[in-house]
Amino acid sequence: MSDKRVILVVDDEQSMRDFLKSSLGGRFEVHTASNVDAAMEELRTRKVDLVLSDVQMPGRGGMDLLQDIGDQLDYQPTVVMMTAFGSIEGAVQATHRGALDYLTKPFGMDQLDHVLEHAFAFERLRTENRSLRKNIAESSRKHGLLGNTPAMTHLREKIATIADSRGTVLLLGESGTGKEVVAKAIHLSGSRSDGPFIRINCAAIPETLLESELFGYERGAFTGAIRARKGKFELAHGGTLLLDEISEMPLAMQAKLLRVLQEREVMRLGAQFAIQSDVRIIATSNRNLKEEVRARNFREDLYYRLNVVPINIAPLRQRKEDIPLLANHFCQNFCAENRKPLMKIDEAAMRGLMAMDWPGNVRQLQNVIERAVILTQGESLDESFLELADEMDGSAQTTGVDPSATLKEMERELILKKLEITGGNRTVAAQELGISVRTLRNKLNLYTELGVVIPG
């Protein structure tokens, strides 16, 4: 088999076909066609690297060939148009429709060689780009992005596209959809993968401590600051900083964060000079930030600064075809972690998993499989373990509160029960209760002062 690049010359003039075949035949494998139909037959017969086609030919011309290549071939050869001086406008139009370049007849070998060099350089770049995207997509799968549905395929493709950019990414989706997994995949797939990946949960840190956690502080900046400390921005230098549940950040902190994002420098508390910040920001929210902006709970200018590359992560109920793959993956992992023989999920149980809506999304599925693996003594998981999913679904729970209890007592019992159901996950508990994490945190602080034991 020849290692030469394959060129197809398409021209209705025999003299032009002969000229190009004679001129290029020593360096390339050259084939010719006198019309579009013959050209398409050649393109289907063998893989062609470059097509040199005349724009104007009797019947169907170069524009028609471009259309056929796009519609009928499972690969895309590079196309260069040839045109007489009077039809340059048509050649320019062809470049807008997918042709790489054009040659004006008559042309010399120097011009031809220059265009061929350009064309093959473009082909190499395109091949390398496809290979890079494939590698990034495969890397994303290794980082936990399991699933073959269109939603997951699109997600992996988007990660491949943005992995090496510095643009801020805003991950949106319900609780449990895997926003942190996606954030890690973006980090590990890009050029910053050797740098640190730092996460901070904006909902879990009291407002008074959040600024020092993010930006750090100098010795003596406040009472108790006996030594200087780096903040998350400094720790993430050269890597990625994940701002989890950004919607729960207080408005005053939002203004300070906006300044850092705009100026790309951080000022420690008590410091006199700013520090340059080379950090890729990824933020997450399970709330509708547009609605939070309208409600004046979130700054509009910060929203637009964060929303450079928005990615919506589909809930599990919208990609149920991925459930078998995910369930089997979790089952295998938890069997290994718990030193149990590999169990299988039987058909009836899998049908049951597929029939559920999974309000807790992938996290809920993962927790159900983990508990089932731990509690099952046999060699397979049958449909009896599906009761566990109902037990772990907050919507199916009752509080068991005494009807004679006061409203505050009932509220406290409901909050504590919801925390117990969600395994102490305050973000999920707040969402299911219909309150903000900030409100939940304040109530839990009050309960702690009263001596109440907080689940999780």
pLDDT tens for 382-432 read 887 777 665 555 443 333 444 445 566 677 888 888 887 777 788 888 887
Fold of 322-393: Helicase, Ruva Protein; domain 3 (1.10.8)
Task: Give 188: exposed, middle or buried? Use CB within 10 Å, 0-12, 13-18, 19+.
Answer: buried
Distance of CA 7 to the CA centre of its chain: 38
Would strands 29-33 and 6-10 be described as parallel, antiparallel, or unpaired?
parallel
pLDDT tens for 161-217 read 898 888 899 999 988 899 999 999 999 888 888 899 999 999 888 877 888 899 988
CATH superfamily of 397-449: Homeodomain-like (1.10.10.60)
Domain boundaries defined on the chain: 6-129, 144-312, 322-393, 397-449
CA distance 316 to 361: 5
Domain 144-312 sits in CATH 3.40.50.300: yes
Q: Which of the pair, 248 or 87, is modelled with greater confidence?
A: 248
* Summary count for the chain: helices (H), strands (E): 19, 16
Task: Copy the structure tokens of residue 67.
Answer: 């259309």
As beta bridge partners, residue 343 has: none
Fold of 6-129: Rossmann fold (3.40.50)
Q: Which residue has the tokens 């549905």?
A: 149
Q: Using pLDDT thresholds of 50, 70 and 90, give the confidence band for residue 87.
A: low
> What is the chain's percent helix, strand, coil content, to nearest 5?
50, 15, 35
Q: What are phi and psi of 48, to 5 degrees?
A: -105, 135
pLDDT tens for 345-365 read 988 889 999 988 888 899 989
CA distance 203 to 182: 19
User: Residue 75 pLDDT more than 50?
Assistant: yes
CA distance 173 to 13: 60
Question: Minimal CA–CA distance to 169: which of 257, 240, 259, 260?
Answer: 240
Global pTM reads: 0.57
One fold for both 6-129 and 322-393? no
Check residue 394 and give its pLDDT. Answer: 43
CA distance 133 to 126: 11
User: Residue 8 pLDDT more than 90?
Assistant: yes
Check residue 441 and give its pLDDT. Answer: 85
Give the percent of the chain with pLDDT over 70. 89
pLDDT tens for 111-127 read 899 889 888 888 887 77
- The CA distances from residue 42 to 4, 7, 23, 71, in Å, are 17, 11, 20, 16
Of the given ranges (9-18, 97-106, 276-285), which has the lowest mean pLDDT?
97-106
Average pLDDT of the chain, as a whole number = 85
Give the percent of the chain with pLDDT over 90. 34
- Vertex 366 angle, CA 365 and 370, to 5°: 120
Largest CA distance in the chain: 101
Do 254 and 302 meet the contact criterion of CB atoms below 8 Å apart?
A: yes
Q: Which residue has the tokens 């471009």?
A: 66
Sequence-distant (6+) residues with CB within 8 A of 111 are: 103
Q: Using pLDDT thresholds of 50, 70 and 90, give the confidence band for residue 296.
A: very high
Do 299 and 259 meet the contact criterion of CB atoms below 8 Å apart?
A: no
Would strands 216-217 and 265-266 be described as parallel, antiparallel, or unpaired?
unpaired
Check residue 14 and give its pLDDT. Answer: 93
Check residue 404 and give its pLDDT. Answer: 45
CA distance 217 to 215: 7
Do 222 and 269 meet the contact criterion of CB atoms below 8 Å apart?
A: yes
- The CA distances from residue 330 to 88, 173, 315, 354, in Å, are 61, 21, 18, 15
Written as one string, the DSSP assignment of 196-259 is: -EEEEETTTS-HHHHHHHHHEE-TTSSTT--S-EE-HHHHTTTSEEEEETGGGS-HHHHHHHHH
Task: Copy the structure tokens of residue 73.
Answer: 């071939």
